[in-house]
Amino acid sequence: MDFGRVTPAELEELDFKLPAEPLFNKKVLKGKPVKKPQAWLGCAKWGRKEWIGKIYPKGTKEALFLPEYVRHFNSIELNATHYQIYGPDTISKWDASAKGMEFKFCPKVPQTISHFSNLSPATAGPKTTSFLEGVLAFGKHLGPIFLQLSDKYGPAKRKALYDYLASLPTDLQFFLEVRHKEWYEDEAVRLELFDKLRELKVGAIITDTAGRRDCAHMHLTVPKIFIRFVGNSLHPTDYTRIDDWANRIKYWLDNGLQEIYFFMHMHDEALSPDLAAYLADRIEAVCGLQVKKPQFVKE
């Protein structure tokens, strides 16, 4: 994932401290912990050949990547659906790999909808129906569905966005990621967006990446979080950033957070399992939640 990538020199100068807790979140969190919060950890793709001999056994064939993946993580940010609308037959085959497991597939809305339709009912509506008909085949393994808008989609088009979000089925959990800088630069626009998402019960994705600190906004519009973390190939700041996240998540859990979805990205994806394992250990140590974590191949 290259979004927010910076040069090594710029990386040394960045302040990665997470923003202060917004007062806005008091509208969403009830102020006391829930009995059984859940934590889901994963990456964006299962088809990583770099993981053969690392977490996948040596000699693992591509057809067995997904069955191997579900042994190491309990969720996936399913980027495959961003590039193609899959029908129930294919989705059911993927779902079978997680049979009997506590696992969540979190499909990404296809780019034909998110990037190329302007979210107009005539073009986005039928495609959204086809997309949802497919991913519903995940059944109990279906996690939140996330809509990532193009970085060219700004607040000037927000009416179309709000109308589209209002048209989505309310019995499914959706999250939204916006990238155009104007969503964050104007406080009135930013708060209007978060208020609208809270009204519609749509989550706001938090993206923590080096070159776009505005996307690490810390606003919760539902009592669940969906974090897309972009590491820098195990640079020392990757670990201190994870430490900060563990502390913030602990605060949110103490105040009523129900679910955590945390997805690990790297510019060098070969290293994602390493930082994911560190995150799982910190969540357990700081928050008291056990999270399934990668198991590395023993030499």
How far CA 111 is from CA of 116, 159, 191, in Å, comes to 6, 19, 26
Decide if pLDDT at 83 tops 80: yes
Pick from 37, 64, 34, 31: nearest CA to 48: 64
pTM of the model as a whole: 0.96
Q: Rounded distance, CA 142 to CA 127, Å?
A: 19
Handedness of CA 198, 17, 226, 151 (dihedral sign): positive
Upper half-sphere CA count for residue 221 (Cβ side, 13 Å): 24
pLDDT at res. 20: 96
**CA distances (Å), origin 16, targets 185, 188, 239, 243:** 19, 25, 11, 11
pLDDT of residue 298: 84
Phi, psi of 245 (to 5 degrees): -65, -40
* Mean pLDDT for the chain overall: 96
d(CA 134, CA 107): 10
Residue among 147, 144, 112, 106 nearest 126 (CA): 112
DSSP symbol at 217: -
Mean pLDDT across 282-298: 96
Q: Give pLDDT, residue 92.
A: 98
57-77 residue pLDDT tens: 999 999 999 999 999 999 999
User: Is the predicted pLDDT of residue 250 greater than 80, yes or no?
Assistant: yes
- The b-or-e profile of 196-229 (16+ CB within 10 A means b, else e) is bbbebebbbbbbbbbebbebbbbbbbbbbbbbbb
β-strands 203-204, 174-177: how paired? parallel
**49 vs 62: CA distance, rounded Å:** 8
Residues 6+ apart with CB under 8 A from 271: 231, 233, 234
pLDDT for the residue 299: 66
Q: Give the list of residues 6+ apart from residue 273 with CB closer than 8 angstroms, or none.
A: 43, 51, 54, 55, 72, 294, 296
* Tens digits of residue pLDDT in 11-64: 999 999 999 999 999 999 999 999 999 999 999 999 999 999 999 999 999 999
- Which pair of tokens denotes residue 287? 């928050």
Q: Quick one: pLDDT at residue 5?
A: 85
Q: What is the mean pLDDT of residues 146-172?
A: 96
Instruction: Read off φ and ψ for residue 2, nearest 5 degrees.
Output: -100, -5
In angstroms, the CA 155 to CA 190 distance is 9
Residue-wise DSSP of 219-246: --SSSEEEEEEEE-TT-HHHHHHHHHHH
- Residue 108 has phi, psi (to 5 degrees) of -90, 135
pLDDT score recorded for residue 179: 96
**Residue 264 tokens, joined:** 């690990």
